[in-house]
Amino acid sequence: MTQERDATRMHDKSRTTAQRGSRRYARLLVTGGAGFIGSCFVRDVLGRRDGTHITVLDKLTYAGNRSNLAPVEADPEQAARLRFVVGDIADPEIVEPLVAEADAVVNFAAESHVDRSILEPVDFLRTDVLGVHVLLEACRKEQARARAGGRAATPRMLQVSTDEVYGSVETGESVEDDRLEPRSPYSAAKAAGELLVRSYFITYGLDVVVTRGSNTYGPYHYPEKLIPLFVTNAIDDQQLPLYGDGRQRRDWLYVADHAGAIGHVLEHAGAGETYNIPGGNERANREVVATLLELLGKPWSLVRSVEDRPGHDWRYAMTGDKLAALGWKNKMSFEVGLAATVDWYLANQGWWRPIKSGEWEEYYRRQYATRLAGSRDAG
Ligand code: NAD
Ligand code: TYD
């Protein structure tokens, strides 16, 4: 076990830099800032009105939506501190000049849905692994420039990762030093991205940090994941495809808490450190679905038990002791957060109805048509 822990621990140098003081970054490059969590981070940081400037780099894949930033674009003071660039993190020509202007890079950009990674893994490797490598190389160029006196400091890079890199956790809670045992193409690609980040700390001494967040929920969540899919289907009295017996367990984290914790780690963590961001709300999928149906006043009979996801991770759970010691505490309770999320989807049908058409319909058919045709009563 000691050996396993040592194998996944970053270089010893991280121990000496772990307790550094806090630092504000005036110019941020936020990749994937038009997605679910990235856009929350951008809205919240600009909403602080502390002068921070943000450049968003986003490829606007099916999951990226510029209107997720509409609230800041409608506010002249915040809009003046936001620049939006459409582009791919795997393209060095776009990435390098943007990193050259940044004090820190926060990488949210990813292919993020497990079911899509099972259908078509290749985009996950391109963005979640090769894209991360391009960002790291751009930071390394800036490190060389800083060492030559061409800029004040090397940009810090924060890699947004996931609890899924630990794999399925049958009992107990994952600690940051635990072995990575990803089991889906998505989590394997995220683990590979993280390991590259770690290697750039060890090999080149790059200023990097990693966060591993748990299952996140809240407004602006693309309706392919459990909570927004089931809420929007239930609003329309559509069937809810619960995988297997629905007893799998996830730890739910409200999106503003996830984004806030990332900002806290960015500003306070030592170079080379990794932080879990748990939600502290472990629930079986069935419990989550029952609660959201209750909030919507819809019947359980909408729920159908469908063929399970291949390789379905049974449970994720992490300890948040290290993050708590850094001074972070989540603010949102699951009950209040879920109610606010359901209200948001009821009030913002103009946001999600257009999304549930075109490419989405094709994906939905591919993922669920056969499953729903062979579905059973969910008990
Ligand atoms: P999302 O799918 O909603 O958004 C991803 C964003 O990245 C989109 O705006 C998309 O257009 C953009 N993007 C994709 N490929 C790109 C590329 N090659 N270049 C530039 N932009 C690209 O994802 P999310 O749920 O907001 O997740 C954000 C990050 O958090 C991801 O790295 C994910 O792995 C991680 N994470 C998510 C959760 C969760 O529950 N949603 C939990 C833990 C960690
Ligand atoms: P998801 O939101 O896809 O997140 P992740 O797989 O990254 O944890 O799924 C959350 C849980 O809900 C997971 O156990 C799979 C389950 N699930 C269903 O039962 N039906 C569905 O249609 C989806 C999308 C997920």
Task: State the pLDDT at residue 17.
Answer: 41
Q: Work out the average pLDDT over 303-326.
A: 98
Confidence of residue 243 (pLDDT cuts 50, 70, 90): very high
Active-site annotation holder among 88, 163, 173, 313? 163
If you take atom 8 of ligand 2, which residue's CA is the nearest one?
Answer: 215
Residue-wise pLDDT tens digits, 182-232: 999 999 999 999 999 999 999 999 999 999 999 999 999 999 999 999 999
User: What is the distance of C-alpha 157 from the center of its chain?
Assistant: 15
Tokens of 153: 């400091």
Distance 150 CA to ligand 1 centre (A): 32
Tokens of 310: 């291949």
Distance between CA atoms of 273 and 337, rounded to whole angstroms?
29
Task: State the pLDDT at residue 241.
Answer: 98
pLDDT at 70 over 50: yes
Active-site annotation holder among 186, 217, 254, 275? 186
Q: Can you point out the beta strands (E) in 49-199?
A: 53-58, 82-86, 104-107, 156-162
Residue-wise pLDDT tens digits, 71-110: 999 999 999 999 999 999 999 999 999 999 999 999 999 9
231 touches ligand 2 (CB under 6 Å): no
Task: State the pLDDT at residue 14.
Answer: 38
- Strand 303-306 relative to strand 253-254: parallel, antiparallel, unpaired? unpaired
225 touches ligand 2 (CB under 6 Å): yes
Distance 161 CA to ligand 1 centre (A): 10
Task: State the pLDDT at residue 21.
Answer: 66
Distance 29 CA to ligand 2 centre (A): 30
Residue-wise pLDDT tens digits, 271-280: 999 999 999 9
Distance 129 CA to ligand 1 centre (A): 13
pLDDT at 342 over 60: yes
Active-site annotation holder among 88, 103, 111, 164? 164
pLDDT at 136 over 90: yes
pLDDT at 59 over 50: yes
Q: Which fold has domain 2-220+252-280+310-332?
A: Rossmann fold (3.40.50)
Domain boundaries in the chain?
A: 2-220+252-280+310-332
243 touches ligand 2 (CB under 6 Å): yes
Residue 282 designated active-site:
no
Task: Provide the mean pLDDT of the chain.
Answer: 95
If you take atom 15 of ligand 1, which residue's CA is the nearest one?
Answer: 110
Quick check: 95 and 132 in contact, CB under 8 A? no
Residue 345 designated active-site:
no
Q: Can you point out the beta strands (E) in the chain?
A: 27-31, 53-58, 82-86, 104-107, 156-162, 208-213, 216-217, 240-243, 249-251, 253-254, 274-277, 282-284, 303-306, 376-377
Residue 164 designated active-site:
yes
Pocket test for ligand 1, best of 37, 40, 122, 187 (most atoms within 8 A of CB): 37
Task: State the pLDDT at residue 22.
Answer: 86
Tally of CA atoms within 13 A in the half-sphere of 56 that contains its CB: 30
Counting ligands in written order, which one lies closest to the CA of residue 107?
Answer: 1
Distance 23 CA to ligand 2 centre (A): 37
Residue-wise pLDDT tens digits, 6-52: 334 443 333 334 445 689 999 999 999 999 999 999 999 999 999 99
Q: Which residue has the higher pLDDT, 357 or 36?
A: 36
72 touches ligand 2 (CB under 6 Å): no
Q: Whole-prediction pTM value?
A: 0.96
